[in-house]
Structure 1
């Protein structure tokens, strides 16, 4: 028979054990607990919970031993429903309970905690869990940091891939396809940056006006392309200052909320509000060292831009700058091959293919046009008396008069020497004479000045219209030969006149 332990010694030993247990629990980083849920789920309490809940959350352990609601009130609303469901599931099948949730700390911030416990069914049907929950904020922060690093690396990799693809497109750019390539770039960049618009604007010399040349819009966002042509920005004080920054400091323009623009931007704010723009960022486009425009993106909502957004914008604007500079160089080279270097007019190399195209269009669609050949009267005498430099001045001034009396869709070219060809589109055969007459009159009334000398000159013209051939197959050579023949007749008829199908007429 074993000796029994005296009641007084037992109470003493139990007291020592409780005291020891509290000391032990206070040294644990987390919170030790026993949590009890009644059989019907209507009541819950903590038979035991370590005193750390008071230091961490400002909760009284004694009150929690009567009602656990104080702890549950500290759980982040987004985590509460899932936590309650997990407790109910653990109570139903008596599986270990493990859950992560954010708890509101004494200072008002939320931090992540993880709970581990094992359930045990009691005789009255209630369930009691024995476990602890510990702070895992450090691990969640590290996890978030790693996730953000991975997302950032992925973002940068996708951006570089996008830029590499468009760089290849611009490298293999065919002449005349740059607009299509820019439109594709804006669509790709607009979607990648998740903005509402992406666009390119061009400045006039002196930054007095700007024109939207290319634009991409997200679905449902209205286009501004048509309304943003030759916009007068001379009175945009704030914007002019931003242009100077872009030109002088190679800087970007950040606007996260248009309502925060300074008072001097009142005119600009009115335009942006009219367009529905709430945030924007613009980067300069340089061609031959000069800011010729800018690349920008818009948002119809207030937004915060990335810290490295300026670098990303510069990469895009740099790609555009290089492509536009190369395109301008190619245009210059093409213009040098098809334009007369003295007058800037198209030369014969450009004229002949265009006449072939116009004749083909006439055969398909019945389009009609007329051709006039001009020759400056007694031009050799001008060269001999005043010199070839004076002759060049006269040729250039005559070019100016020709362009002033023709339309944008007319074709004006220098055929050779002092001979010029004018092709008028959509002019009836009985109207071409009045056009040529106005040109002859303008030349006759002009003083051609060179240094201290001045001269009065006249021109002769031969005119032929496609309608004269009544369906016969015509070539550019036939048209030019007939115009040249009539020009010769005008010279023979006394000069300063024109000859067309109706014969000679003098203004």
Structure 2
């Protein structure tokens, strides 16, 4: 997959801005995943750790991957992935990924994906600004390609959000549960989570 240096620079700068917005991120992390009181007490420490990765001279890929790990542990996901479009918005590739212990990486397998292959869930993300699939196996017949795509990665539950650069969707942040089904609860915190990625296109 070819991504211009300018595109990569823009996406990284957006991530940096987001992670340094401490007050907004604190709100997201506290309520976005229905955290227990114990976990809420550790939120500020987590925010500091993520923010510090994007200060000064850094390795952007290392900083992003470490941050995906933090978000994965917080959300209870088994795999957190970032997918970016090519410049024509027709092809998606998995650019960054974190996997929990014992979970197989899919990054090398998920390159140069025709958006039509998974257009069912992409369309819903674009329309609703999220897609929440508690049980992949129950997807309707008109989502067969999406169902087959997810089941080929052993995904049981899926949560996806668009990544924006200004007003343009440049990719998606995806949270997958492989070991078991999970219900990510929709509510105020859930929509804070949507907003977390709403202007993140420059960060990746």
Superposed pair shares fold, TM > 0.5: yes
Q: Which residue matches 1:225?
A: 107
The structure where strand makes up a greater share of residues is 1
Deviation at 1:313, TM superposition (A): 5.1
Deviation at 1:276, TM superposition (A): 0.1
Change (3 A) 1:318 1:178: farther
1:199 and 1:295 in contact (8 A); partners too: yes
Q: Which residue matches 1:156?
A: 40
Deviation at 1:262, TM superposition (A): 2.2
Please identify runs of 4+ aligned residues in structure 1 that moved more than 4 A: none
Q: Which residue matches 1:311?
A: 192
TM-score (norm 2): 0.72
CA RMSD between the two structures = 2.3
Bigger radius of gyration: 1
Change (3 A) 1:242 1:165: same
Distance in 2 (alpha carbons) for counterparts of 1:220 and 1:235: 27
Correspondences of 1:165-184 after superposition (within 5 Å): 165-170=49-54, 172-174=55-57, 177-184=59-66
Partner SS state of residue 226, structure 1? helix
Q: Which has the higher contact order (CA 8 A, sep 6+)?
A: 2
Deviations, residues 176-203 of structure 1 (Å, cap 9, x unaligned): x211100100111112222110111101
Aligned length: 167
Partner SS state of residue 285, structure 1? strand
Q: Which residue matches 2:89?
A: 207
Q: Which runs of 5+ in 1 are unaligned?
A: 1-150, 325-507
Distance in 2 (alpha carbons) for counterparts of 1:191 and 1:243: 23
2:136 to 258, 270, 291: 258
Distance in 1 (alpha carbons) for counterparts of 2:198 and 2:40: 17
1:167 and 1:319 in contact (8 A); partners too: no
Distance in 2 (alpha carbons) for counterparts of 1:153 and 1:286: 31
Q: Which residue matches 2:29?
A: none
Distance in 2 (alpha carbons) for counterparts of 1:294 and 1:236: 12
Q: Which residue matches 1:189?
A: 71
Distance in 1 (alpha carbons) for counterparts of 2:182 and 2:93: 26
Distance in 2 (alpha carbons) for counterparts of 1:321 and 1:164: 21
Correspondences of 1:290-301 after superposition (within 5 Å): 290-300=168-178, 301=180
Partner SS state of residue 302, structure 1? coil
